[in-house]
Amino acid sequence: MEFNVRTFDELTKDELYRILQLRAAVFVVEQECAYQDVDGKDQKAFHVLCQERGKLLAYTRIFRPGDYFEKASIGRVVVDRSSRDRGLGEKIMKVSVDFLVEELSEKTMELSAQTYLLRFYENLGFQSVGDTYLEDGIPHIKMVYPSKF
C-alpha cells in the first residue's frame, strides 16, 4: 500500500478516473446524494491517494488557504467500502494533515464534516465550530485543526 500526493496536472488519466469513480460510488450511490461532485475545484487541489496494486482504497483532496475555504482545507475524504476495516480513513487523514503542516507550512486547517463522523475527526485533533448545517441534504459541521487555539 502506498500514499501519494499529486497536483491535478500530475494525475494520470487512470488515477483521475479511479478518483471520480470512488467519489461517485460513495458520495452519490452509497449515500444516495445527487450533487455536483465534479465542481471545478479539482484543478486547484492536491490529491492524496492510497493505492494498492492499482486499486484506489482511500482519497482526500487538499486546498491552500483561499482556494476553497479561508483556511487550508481537506475534503472529499473517502474510503472504498471494501477497505473500511483497515484504518485507512485515519491513515489518509494523517498523511493529509502532515502534508499541510510539513510541505505547505500550514498550521491551521478546516473541513466540512458529515456529522456522523464527528468523533472520527475529533480523534484526529479537529474541533467542531458552530452549528450543524445541511450540505447537499446531509448534516455537516465545520471543524478546525488544531483543536486548541
Domains in the chain: ranges and CATH: 2-145 (3.40.630.30)
Over residues 39-59, mean pLDDT: 97
CA separation for the pair 147, 25 (Å, rounded): 31
Instruction: Give the H/E segment covering residue 93.
Output: helix 88-98
pLDDT at 33: 87
pLDDT at 8: 98
Over residues 85-113, mean pLDDT: 96
Q: Is the pLDDT of residue 149 over 70?
A: no
The C-alpha cell at 23 is 467519489
What percent of the chain has a predicted confidence (pLDDT) above 70?
A: 98
Model confidence at 147, pLDDT cuts 50, 70, 90, reads: low
Which residues in 44-78 are b (16+ Cβ under 10 Å) and which e?
ebbbbbbbeeeebbbbbbbbebeebbebbbbbbbb
Which whole-number Å values give the CA distances from 28 to 20, 77, 105, in the listed order? Answer: 11, 14, 33
The pTM score is: 0.94
For residue range 1-31, what is the model confidence (pLDDT) as tens digits?
A: 999 999 999 999 999 999 999 999 999 999 9
